[in-house]
Amino acid sequence: MTDLFIAYRRADKERVDLIRQSLSSLGLTMAADIEPKGRGAAKAIRDAAASARVVLALWPAEILDPTQNHAGLYGLARTAHVDGRLVAARLAPLAVDKLEAPFDTLPTPDLSNWLAGDPRPAGAPEWQSLVGAIGRIIGRPALGELALALEADGATIGPAQIAFARRHREDAASATIWERFETAERERFADAFRKAHGVLMERHQGAQDRLKAALEAFPAYLQAVRKDATVQPPDPREAIADGAAALRDGVARLAADNERLQTALDRARVTPPPMAANGNRPWAWIGMTAAAFVVGSLGAATLTEFAGPFRGDAHPRIAGLAQAAQERAETVAQASAELARLREQARTAARRAETAEANLRNARTQLAHSQTELIQRQTQASEATGSTRRLQGELQAAQQALASAERKAQEAATRVAGLEQEVQALRETATAAADAAVTTGSVRPRPASGAAEPQPAPAPQPQAAPPAASAPLPPARPDGEVTGSVPPAPPPAMEGPYRHRRDRWSFAIPPGFRLDSENDLPGPVNSVLIHEQNRDAVVVVSANAARGACTAQAWYWDNIVEGSRPRRGEVTGDAALPQGEASFRGFAVRGRGVLQADRFRTDLDYYDLVAQRRGEPGVVYLVQARFPRSMAGEMIRSVHALWKDFEVTGPRAYPTRC
């Protein structure tokens, strides 16, 4: 079963393909587009529409033109509406109230502007209305949100589709979204992993080379240190130093300098320098002070550098300066650790800010989806209100029609009772008149055949004295003067032979069979006999129009063996007709095969008697027997017995054409 079948006019195929492509991108399974030309196309279209969960009827502008035939489109839409599977839309801005009922009251969005746009927005109200109606029928109410998410992210998996998959886990598209997301994430992670592994292997090779060089330089150091005290031993730890630590220290130092300079700049912008009394700015004094500080620092360093060796490190001032330098170094180390901690806090705060921004974007997206869903719910509520009002009106009309029908039924019953009383009164009047009437003379039916022969006069019978009356009675008329005709009496009922209800033929029902008058076989006259012990044993007697065939063999070959119905199989034997009425001619055939419907099956055998009456070549009489193979002998004997007693008793059913 497919999700959607689109019913449209063939001239609108180009625009319908745009709608089909947009709906297919939402994960809907579409019924195949069947060409209306070709043999069996109409049935294939009806079957495809019946097997779809939703039928989308697209009304063109020509739907209101009475000179064009739109019966096919209306028929598909009406069948789907009865089943509750119809969704309608317009391809042109036509008046919906002029459509045929009940389509004039259904929600029908106009897609003409949406189709004319490029690109075609998924958030357009008419498109959202159409997609929402389809989603409600197939059990995917979030289909409109999926269209918005796909439009927001484009061809790649983005945050909008991920948010949709989290909110609507039961939607069929969520599994596809997660599958595509996992594929993309696996590819991204694999690429990053390959790059990181490559860098690691490069660094590993470089560290191994440096460590090997340090190992080779150590014996040379042992020889050189005996001659030179300034020689430094090779440090294996330098082998794993790839400059990353120095780079991190440089970045930290530059960041600290940047922060300090930024703070000073901000302070300078906020607080302007004070004006001197003479109106000159203190820039000169600041420069002179800085120069003096620099010169003093250089002089103190020089004196310390050159006077230290002469005075010794034990001088109190030098020891104090050394202690101060050590304290400052410790302070710098603590400051570096604090700076690293603050930098880590800053990075954490930045990550939290990014997370908050992403959450804010998701919240905005969810708000937009909620607003869209609210609009859809409002539209559904208005549609439900309209449907309720319409159903209430239809219910009231039906109740009124029912009340009117009940009144008419009561009136008809009253009239019938009155007519029955009148008929009873007329019967009583006729009975009274018949009792009071006086009948004279006599009537004798005419013979059935042969010329009229004079009959001897009947013997005189004693006449009863006529009743006394005030007026003389008319004299009795002799029998020979009777005129007119009397219909012949029906044939007497016989025990055994069966007369068809249409008085077409008569035959004796073979033992073990019963007559089945309720049959659905084709043909104007049929008699069906069914075996009482096995319902698969059936005999059918029928009269058929020869349709120009002057022999029974030609009719049988054209209509049964080579006709439009399937072949019954090879003829296994010919035989003469059973000895019966000499005015028939024909032949018998036995074979296997199938004609049509459920009464004829390939697992049974068949035996046919085909005959024409010499006086009516336009009619072919056919006796068909169907039976299991084990009953072949009994069935053929029963058919022969029936045919020997077969007699045509009525007029021909078809005119003679030969």
CATH of the domain at 126: 3.40.50.10140
The domain boundary, picked from 155, 172, 189, lies at 155
Q: Write phi, then psi, for 76 (nearest 5 degrees).
A: -65, -40
Please report whether residue 598 resides in a domain. yes
Structural domain boundaries enclosing 572? 503-648
* Contact between 646 and 505 (Cβ < 8 Å): yes
Assess if residue 39 is contained within a domain. yes
Q: Which amino acid is at 637?
A: R
The tokens for 286 are 């600041």
Q: What is the pLDDT of residue 131?
A: 94
Structural domain contains residue 577: yes
- 108 versus 483: the higher-pLDDT residue is 108
Residues 6+ apart with CB under 8 A from 657: 546, 547, 548, 618
Residue with more model confidence, 535 or 455 = 535
pLDDT of the residue at 78: 92
pTM metric for this prediction: 0.37
618: in domain? yes
Cα–Cα distance list, 433 to 438, 449, 469 (Å): 10, 37, 17
Domain end among 98, 120, 155: 155
The most distant pair of C-alpha atoms in the chain lies apart, rounded to whole Å, by 197
Strand partners, 287: none
Tokens encoding 271: 């607080």
pLDDT digits (tens, 9 = 90+) for 17-42: 999 999 999 999 999 888 877 678 88
610-642: pLDDT as tens digits: 888 776 767 888 888 888 988 998 999 999 888
- Collapsed DSSP state (helix, strand, coil) of residue 583: coil
- Cis preceding linkage at 102, omega within 30: yes
* Domain count across the chain: 2
Report the pLDDT value the prediction gives residue 23, as an integer from 0 to 100. Answer: 93
Taking residues 74-78, what's their average pLDDT? 91
pLDDT at residue 243 in the model: 59
Tokens of 61: 């502008």
> Does residue 513 fall inside a structural domain?
yes
Q: In what order do the strands lie in the sheet with 497-499?
A: 497-499, 505-508, 647-648
What residue has token string 């120009």? 548
- Which of 8-17, 60-69, 349-358, 643-652 shows the highest mean pLDDT? 8-17
Q: Which of 23, 99, 115 is nearest to 61 (CA)?
A: 99
Listed residue (393, 374, 362) closest to 160, CA to CA: 362
Q: Does 57 score more than 60 pLDDT?
A: yes
Rg of the chain over all Cα atoms, to the nearest angstrom = 56
Model confidence at 592, in pLDDT bands (50, 70, 90)?
low
Asked if residue 84 belongs to a domain, the reply is: yes
Residue 446 pLDDT > 50, yes or no? no
pLDDT tens column, 313-338: 445 666 677 777 777 777 877 877 88
Q: What is the pLDDT of residue 199?
A: 84
Domain termination site, one of 129, 155, 181: 155
DSSP assignment of 374-408 equals HHHHHHHHHHHHHHHHHHHHHHHHHHHHHHHHHHH
Domain harbouring 521, CATH code: 3.40.1000.10
**How many C-beta atoms surround the C-beta of residue 258 within 10 A?**
10
**6 close to 20: Cβ distance less than 8 angstroms:** yes
Strands (E), 563-614: 574-575, 584-592, 605-613
In this predicted model, what pLDDT tens digit does every residue of 198-223 receive, in sequence order? 888 888 888 888 888 888 888 988 88
Q: Who wins on pLDDT, 628 or 579?
A: 628
Average confidence score pLDDT of the chain: 76
pLDDT band at 81 (very low <50, low <70, confident <90, very high): very high
89's tokens = 């839309």
Residue 419 is assigned to a structural domain of this protein: no
Tell me, yes or no, whether 434 lies in a domain: no
